[in-house]
């Protein structure tokens, strides 16, 4: 399938394999960043959070996701949302540059501090728990992560309605 072709049903993608094929042929955005950001978005979605947009920048290999507040989640689940980008890089064997998770590390540190949790005493265990939760959610939603990451690698941005179509389709 070419970059601008649709399948016979009028859909650009009707299988994960077709998405991979198109993304490989047409990728314009860093795949590793696409998987990192897809990890955040899909894990957040798996907790019932709203994802308004997910994006990847070709210029500096950065990206982001607009996700609704996580305050109602347990602390370990909040850490999982922060760690899910790094976990996705591992689960999908798509490592990014060394600074890719800088904001994620800082976010977890701020979260622990806001809850009065000692980094030295409880930080490593809480990070490990969050990482394990994120990994389990990524594995349970493997197809959705791949769909989203491949779309991001080609198009660079997914809005809320397209995100929901990818998650539910």
Residue that is written with structure tokens 């590390």 in the block: 105
Q: In what order do the strands lie in the sheet with 51-56?
A: 63-67, 51-56, 157-159
Q: What's CA 130's distance to the chain center, in Å?
A: 15
Note whether 68 and 78 are within 8 A (CB).
Answer: no
118-164 tens-digit pLDDT: 989 999 999 999 999 999 999 999 999 999 999 999 999 999 999 99
Using a cut of 0.75, tell me whether the model's pTM lies above it. Answer: yes
Class of domain 16-168: mainly alpha
Which of 157, 169, 18, 147 has its CA nearest to residue 2? 18
- Which two three-digit tokens encode residue 125? 């265990």
């Amino acid at each position: 399938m070419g970059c601008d072709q649709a399948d016979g049903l009028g859909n650009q993608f009707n299988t994960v394999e077709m998405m991979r094929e198109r993304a490989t042929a047409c990728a314009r955005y860093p795949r590793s960043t696409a998987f990192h950001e897809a990890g955040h978005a899909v894990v957040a979605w798996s907790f019932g959070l709203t994802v308004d947009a997910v994006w990847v920048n070709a210029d500096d290999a950065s990206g982001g996701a607009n996700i609704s507040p996580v305050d109602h989640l347990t602390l370990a689940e909040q850490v999982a949302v922060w760690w899910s980008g790094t976990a996705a890089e591992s689960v999908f064997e798509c490592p990014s540059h060394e600074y890719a998770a800088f904001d994620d590390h800082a976010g977890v540190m701020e979260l622990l501090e806001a809850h009065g949790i000692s980094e030295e005493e409880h930080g490593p265990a809480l990070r490990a728990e969050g990482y394990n939760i994120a990994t389990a959610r990524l594995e349970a939603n493997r197809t959705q992560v791949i769909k989203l990451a491949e779309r991001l690698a080609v198009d660079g941005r997914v809005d809320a309605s397209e995100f929901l179509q990818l998650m539910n389709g």
